[in-house]
Amino acid sequence: MAHPKIALIGGGQIGGTLAHMVGLKELGDVVLFDIVGGLPQGKCLDIIQGGAIEGYNTQYKGTNSYADIAGADVVIVTAGVPRKPGMSRDDLLQINLKVMSAVGEGIKNYAPDAFVICITNPLDAMVWALRTFADHPPHKIVGMAGVLDSARFRHFLATEFRVSVEDVSAFVLGGHGDTMVPMPRFSTVAGIPLPELIKMGWITEERLGSIIQRTRDGGAEIVGLLKTGSAFYAPASSAIEMAEAYLKDEKRVLPVAAYVNGPYGIKDLYVGVPVVIGEGGVERIVELNLLPEEKAALEKSADSVKTLIDACKQLDPRL
Ligand code: TXD
């Protein structure tokens, strides 16, 4: 049977890591696109040579031409400019909006049936703009943020409790950024919700508060350490988990930036919510019963996404 075709738009830190992971996991064949001549070709040649050792039979093509993504089953977009220290995700808006316009055109012309995962920041606004530029069905285009944010939350909790991260599940709602909404009530250790663990004396409210803050600042903490770019290993793993859910029709319940028009009282926005991902793309949005303070936090987060989208609309009249 033919291998699924996975197009990676952007061959930088995350794009290269994604390309390598697709081979290691044998998820399909890779087309790696970048505007920089030689970069995707060089990375593909390097990765494919590793196949002789790792034993993957993945086909790799590095390219500077959108025609090569034709018929892709999955498109993962990392094209753009990453944050530098001191730069907010929102500073990236202007530059990356132009990139989304070009990428959207490429998807529209060559991969209209693909499941598209956008990673480029500022995430919620970029995926919204990309959907419009590509004229893509909303259930077939999502943004990656929640899987990463909740992975960070899970890691910090597992370290705190000295338990396996496998047994920690966590939910983070809302936009990717300072207003993200970690959800302690729906975050558990082997099914025991965090508020229960506070009662059991595993953690204090204050300590949990500082872990939540570290989760919110998780991206900035890494940017501050790396100084020349942003996180890329865990972001790549997160997008691969989403792509795999689609390609293998796994019906995974994952927090993703999805198009929300109705649920949670949110209209015409991309925002982080739990969804079911299977062969139909976003097959269902899971609408949790939120407490008033959780609802207020989600609304605040949605408002800040809306502000960014309004800024995009100002910058590009097509939006
Ligand atoms: O949770 C999340 N969503 C994120 C998002 C977590 C971490 C990083 N996040 C964002 O992903 C980050 O702020 C960036 O916007 C993207 C990509 O991060 P990466 O670290 O991979 O950035 P690089 O290494 O700079 O790679 C970007 C590549 C680079 O090779 C450019 O030449 C290319 O994008 N680029 C383009 N490719 C195609 N088309 C156009 N127009 C283009 N412009 C730049």
Query: 98-120, pLDDT tens digit by residue?
Result: 999 999 999 999 999 999 999 99
- Does residue 83 surpass a pLDDT of 80? no
> Which atom from ligand 1 is nearest to the alpha carbon of 145?
1
pLDDT value, residue 176: 86
- Centroid of ligand 1 to alpha carbon of 229 (angstroms): 10
Cα–Cα distance measured from residue 143 to residue 120, given in angstroms and rounded to the nearest whole number: 8
Cα–Cα distance measured from residue 308 to residue 195, given in angstroms and rounded to the nearest whole number: 33
Residue 10 identity: G
User: Which residues lie across from 182 on neighbouring strands?
Assistant: 172
Mean pLDDT of 282-299: 96
36 lines ligand 1 (CB under 6 A): yes
Mean pLDDT of 131-157: 98
Mean pLDDT of 150-161: 98
Under 8 Å between Cβ of 256 and 272: yes
Mean pLDDT of 213-242: 95
Report the chain's terminal Cα–Cα distance, integer Å.
40
Cα angle value 163/165/171 (rounded, 5°): 120
pLDDT value, residue 231: 95
The token pair at 130 is 């990309």
Residue of 35, 84, 92 with the most ligand 1 atoms within 8 Å of its CB, for mutation: 35
Query: pTM score, two decimals?
Result: 0.97
Indicate if the alpha-carbon torsion angle 69, 258, 183, 180 is positive or negative: positive
ipTM for the predicted complex comes to: 0.99
The token pair at 258 is 């999805």
- Return the H-helix or E-strand segment holding 62: strand 60-63
Does the active-site annotation cover 176? Answer: yes
232 lines ligand 1 (CB under 6 A): yes
The token pair at 71 is 């018929």
pLDDT digits (tens, 9 = 90+) for 42-57: 999 999 999 999 999 9
Mean pLDDT of 211-228: 94
HSE toward the beta carbon, residue 220, CA cutoff 13 A: 13
The token pair at 279 is 């062969």
pLDDT value, residue 153: 97
Supply φ then ψ for residue 289, to 5 degrees: -85, 105
- The answer on whether 89 is annotated among ligand-binding residues is yes
- Does residue 313 surpass a pLDDT of 80? yes
pLDDT tier at 89 (50, 70, 90 boundaries)? low
83 lines ligand 1 (CB under 6 A): yes
pLDDT tier at 90 (50, 70, 90 boundaries)? low
pLDDT value, residue 86: 74
Under 8 Å between Cβ of 129 and 119: no
> Which atom from ligand 1 is nearest to the alpha carbon of 17?
21
pLDDT value, residue 271: 95
pLDDT value, residue 1: 76
238 lines ligand 1 (CB under 6 A): no
Report which of 244, 220, 224, 218 is spatially closest to residue 149, judged by C-alpha positions: 218
Under 8 Å between Cβ of 117 and 236: no
pLDDT tier at 300 (50, 70, 90 boundaries)? very high
Cα–Cα distance measured from residue 146 to residue 153, given in angstroms and rounded to the nearest whole number: 10
- Does residue 177 surpass a pLDDT of 80? no
- Centroid of ligand 1 to alpha carbon of 89 (angstroms): 12
